Every structure is written in C-alpha cells, then in structure tokens.
C-alpha cells in the first residue's frame, strides 16, 4: 500500500520531480487501474458462466461450434476469444453472439440476459423450435436479431414490438403463422425485415407504412393475398421489395412504376391480371426484376425495358409476351 502526505509538494518541495512523478503514477496504478482490471476479470467470469449455462441447455452441437466454450478457470480462457463471441475492447462487455449454421438443438437459456450489452444476436441455421422465448424481449439493446432457418412456430409474440432499437429483423424459414401483428409497426427504426418462407396470411397491413426507414422488405413464400396496397409506393427508402410466391391478385398498380429508388423487385408467382404497366420503365435504378408466372397478367410492350440501364437480371418466365417485339 502506498501512503502519501500532501504537505508542501510545490516547486521547492522536498521531493524532486522524478520522485514526485513516481509517487503519483504508483498511486494512480494502485487506486484506479488495478481495481479496474480486477473488476474486468470478475465481470469476465460472470459472462463466462452465463455463456456456459447457455451451452449446457443445448443437447446437440453437431459441428462443434461451441467447442472453445470451456469451463477452465485459467486466465487464458477469456470468453471474449471464444468462437462466435465478440466483446467491446474497452469494457469487456459481450456485444455480439454469432451462432449461425451450427445445427444447434435444445433450449434457449435465459442466462443470455446476463449479457446486458448484447446488441447483435444471430441464431440462424439451427434447430431451435417452439415459440420465441419471452426473455428475448428483455434484450433491450438488440439492434440485430436473426433467428431464420429454424423451427420456431406460432405467432410473433407481442414483446417483439417493444424491441424498438432493432434495425435488422430476420425471421424467414420458420413455421410462424397468422397475420402480421400490429405491434411490428412500432419498430420504426427497422431497415431490414424478412419474414419469408413462413405461413403468414391476410393483407399487407397499413402500419407497415410507419416503418419509414425500411430498405429491405421480403414477404415472399407466404399466403398473403389481396392487392398490393398503395402505401407501398410511399416507402421511398425501399431498395429491395420481394412479394413473390403469394396470392396477390387483381392488377399490378401503376404506382409501383414510381418507386424509382428500387434496385430489386420480385412479383413472380402470384395471381395478377391485366398487363404489366409501362411505368415500370421509370424504375431506372432497377438491377433485378422478376415477373415470372404472374397468373393472367400479360406484357403488351417491351419498349420500357430499354429505359432500365442498370438491369442485370430479368425473369419473365411463363408470362404472355407481345407477338411482335419492336426495337
């Protein structure tokens, strides 16, 4: 322990500058740095136990994704160096868990709540099933949540609407059903929403229009029906829109041609009638356009395609084309 007195440490004091500097440095290291390092070490132990508890609830790790997650107490066993774990370099908090494509199976443990600074959680490509665990809604700092390619089922639970910091939500390739719940409209900071390859039904609800920052919207391979709502045309941040493989019908409305910001548009495998609007030629930023198998929909003219300079991929399989192609 270092004991200092503060009497007369001036320019003409009894301590020389090197000795004074040594005392101050030693005092700082002993009183501030050492306790901070001890706290980080103790905190790391708490995080390690939380992650090991999560692992203990799994009964399959086919590819050994969590093989580095061991209970050893050695100083070298830093959980921040475990596979799939990312920590803040300054605080030591776990900020990201990337456990994708591990074929993991078992129960999702609420021990993840001890990761109070977690903002990125990717559990995609595993075999988790049942409803989304309620504790996920208490991970209030999450900005990125990917649970796609699992076997989750039921409806989207209401607590998802309280996760208002989310920017990225990927729920595709599960067994979710029902309509899109109204509380999804509370996620106004979302930029990416993918709920494809599920069993959702009904119309596209109006509250989707409140998600004004959406750039990527994928609703494909569900059982949505009705017409494409007009408010989709007002979502000016959208770059990727995929409504394919559903039960949309009636005509393709002209407003879609005004969505000049789109890079990717997929309307294939639906039940539209009428004709593809010539206004599609206004979407000059389009790079990918999929119009295959649109039911009774036809194309009267292909002239508008010449106005799409960025177009790299085009699919019009199974659609009635004009008998005479000009240009």
Rama region for 4: left / alpha / beta (φ>0; ψ in -120 to 50; rest): beta
CA-to-CA dists, residue 151 to 25, 104, 213, angstroms: 57, 12, 29
CA-to-CA dists, residue 231 to 103, 235, 236, 241, 255, angstroms: 39, 7, 10, 13, 9
Whether the Cβ atoms of residue 59 and residue 106 lie closer than 8 Å to each other: yes
Domain extent listing, the chain: 17-315
pLDDT, residue 38, reads 38
pTM: 0.86
pLDDT, residue 18, reads 58
pLDDT, residue 22, reads 52
The yes or no reply on domain 17-315 and CATH 3.80.10.10 is yes
pLDDT, residue 12, reads 46
**What is the DSSP code (8-state) at residue 233?**
G
pLDDT, residue 33, reads 42
Angle at 51 between CA 48 and CA 52, to 5 degrees: 85
Largest CA distance in the chain: 103
pLDDT, residue 29, reads 44
| Distance of alpha carbon 284 from alpha carbon 264, whole angstroms | 11
| Distance of alpha carbon 132 from alpha carbon 16, whole angstroms | 66
Q: Where are the beta strands (DSSP E) in the chain?
A: 58-61, 85-87, 94-98, 104-106, 120-122, 129-130, 144-146, 151-154, 168-170, 175-178, 192-194, 199-202, 216-218, 223-226, 240-242, 247-251, 264-266, 271-273, 288-290, 313-315
| Distance of alpha carbon 63 from alpha carbon 285, whole angstroms | 42
Whether the Cβ atoms of residue 304 and residue 314 lie closer than 8 Å to each other: no
User: What does the block give as tokens for 181?
Assistant: 């719940």
CA-to-CA dists, residue 251 to 234, 256, 274, 295, angstroms: 18, 11, 5, 10
Whether the Cβ atoms of residue 258 and residue 234 lie closer than 8 Å to each other: no
Dihedral over alpha carbons 277, 281, 287, 293 (to 10 degrees): 20
| Distance of alpha carbon 48 from alpha carbon 114, whole angstroms | 10
pLDDT, residue 4, reads 42
pLDDT, residue 20, reads 52
Written as tens digits, the pLDDT of the chain (327 aa) is 444 444 444 444 454 555 555 555 554 445 444 444 434 555 678 899 999 999 999 999 999 999 999 998 776 779 999 999 999 999 999 999 999 999 999 999 999 999 999 999 999 999 999 999 999 999 999 999 999 999 999 999 999 999 999 999 999 999 999 999 999 999 999 999 999 999 999 999 999 999 999 999 999 999 999 999 999 999 999 999 999 999 999 898 888 999 999 999 999 999 999 999 999 999 999 999 999 999 989 999 999 999 999 999 999 999 988 876 555
**DSSP string for 132-167:** PPGGGGG-TT-SEEE--SSEEEESPPGGGGG-TT-S
């Amino acid at each position: 322990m270092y004991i200092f007195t503060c009497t007369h440490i001036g320019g003409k004091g009894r301590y020389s500058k090197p000795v004074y500097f040594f005392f101050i440095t030693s005092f700082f290291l002993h009183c501030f740095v050492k306790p901070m390092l001890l706290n980080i070490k103790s905190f790391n132990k708490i995080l390690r136990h939380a992650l090991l508890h999560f692992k203990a609830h799994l009964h399959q790790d086919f590819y050994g994704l969590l093989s580095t997650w061991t209970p050893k107490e050695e100083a070298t066993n830093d959980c921040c160096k475990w596979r799939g774990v990312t920590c803040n370099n300054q605080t030591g908090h776990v900020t990201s868990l990337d456990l994708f494509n591990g074929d993991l199976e078992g129960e999702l443990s609420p021990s993840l709540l001890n990761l109070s600074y977690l903002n990125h959680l990717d559990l995609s490509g595993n075999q988790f099933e049942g409803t989304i665990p309620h504790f996920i809604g208490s991970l209030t700092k999450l900005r990125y949540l990917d649970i796609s390619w699992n076997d989750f089922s039921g409806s989207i639970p209401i607590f998802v609407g309280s996760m208002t910091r989310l920017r990225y939500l990927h729920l595709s390739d599960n067994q979710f059903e029902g309509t899109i719940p109204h509380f999804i409209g509370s996620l106004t900071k979302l930029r990416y929403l993918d709920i494809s390859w599920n069993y959702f039904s009904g119309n596209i609800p109006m509250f989707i229009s409140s998600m004004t920052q959406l750039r990527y919207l994928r609703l494909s391979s569900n059982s949505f029906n009705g017409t494409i709502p007009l408010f989709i045309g007002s979502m000016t941040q959208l770059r990727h829109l995929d409504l394919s493989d559903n039960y949309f019908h009636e005509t393709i409305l002209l407003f879609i041609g005004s969505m000049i910001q789109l890079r990717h548009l997929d309307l294939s495998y639906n039940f539209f009638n009428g004709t593809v609007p010539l206004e599609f030629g206004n979407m000059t930023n389009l790079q990918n356009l999929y119009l295959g198998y649109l039911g009774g929909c036809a194309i009267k003219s292909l002239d508008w395609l010449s106005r799409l300079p960025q177009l790299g991929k085009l699919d019009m399989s199974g659609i009635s084309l004009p008998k005479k192609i000009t240009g």
